[in-house]
Amino acid sequence: MKKENLLKTLSKTEDRILLSKVLDKYHLYEKTGKATYSDYLDPYEQKLVERFIKKMGIEDYAFYGGYNGAERRAIVFCPTAMPVDWELNCFNVLKITWSTRDNFSHRDFLGSLMGLGIKREKIGDILVSDEFSTIIVKKEIAQFIELYLSKIGSAKVKVELADDEEIKSFEPKIKDITTTVASLRLDCIASAGFGISRSKISQLVTSQRVNLNWEEVSSASKIINEEDTISIRGKGRIVLQKIGNTTKKNRVHVLIKKFI
């Protein structure tokens, strides 16, 4: 199917704009024979882009976010047999340290970066620990951040270029939750995974803060399947890892993985 016809099947203007930009990168790769890569894409955008380019018969691509398991990734157009040297040209890893006792969150770092006028799509994953933060960014903005990011909130910070090997071994922290639920409805699973009431989950759905598999969900009663991901803005994400047997009281055993 041709590009124009595929774009017409999309209802959202922002989706059409995103896919047009991605295809521009592919056409540049076709023209020059050199690897090209997009801005960072969130998981919803990755699914959309991959579904689209598969329909176009494009095979020379890979997704990469700096390390295995990255959530935000760029799509790279390159020969499938090409060595991964292009990784070094896609991104830089920045290490941010501070001397205060502040407990910073992902939101603190993102807010400070965007406060410098940096667009979200230029920033990959932000990995926060107790002592430092590691941030993956597009290479063209790394030096700008080194020069101008001096504070997170009111705390002074130091920004330096890090070795990309430091991040490849990063493993997200996951908590296993084994429990039973009344049903496999979204509000039941989310309530068990996030530790908040079903009525609160319904309110969050109504306020458009809940995504199912990276797409906004409009019903708290939607049935959840194994491997489905539920994310709530400001609260993180969970995955329904396994659905087990039903108890005598008609409750369902489940294993939920919560990213913390």
Look at residue 85 and tell me whether its pLDDT is greater than 60.
Answer: no
CA distance 52 to 64: 18
CA distance 99 to 107: 19
Q: What is the separation, in whole angstroms, between the first and last Cα of the chain?
A: 42
pLDDT per residue over 144-189, tens digit each? 999 999 999 888 999 999 876 777 656 667 899 999 999 999 999 9
Q: Mean pLDDT throughout 74-88?
A: 68
Look at residue 201 and tell me whether its pLDDT is greater than 80.
Answer: yes
Strand 132-138 vs strand 91-98: parallel, antiparallel, or unpaired? antiparallel
Strand 210-212 vs strand 229-232: parallel, antiparallel, or unpaired? antiparallel
Look at residue 74 and tell me whether its pLDDT is greater than 90.
Answer: yes
Identify the structural domains of the chain with CATH numbers, from first to last.
3-82 (3.30.1370.160), 89-168 (3.30.70.330), 174-259 (3.10.290.10)
Helices within the chain (DSSP H only): 3-8, 13-32, 43-55, 87-90, 106-115, 139-148, 165-168, 186-194, 198-206
pTM over 0.85: no
- Residues of the chain above pLDDT 90, percent: 57
Q: Please tell me the least confidently modeled range out of 9-18, 39-48, 173-182, 202-211.
A: 9-18
Would you call 89 exposed, middle or buried from its count of C-beta atoms within 10 A (0-12, 13-18, 19+)? exposed
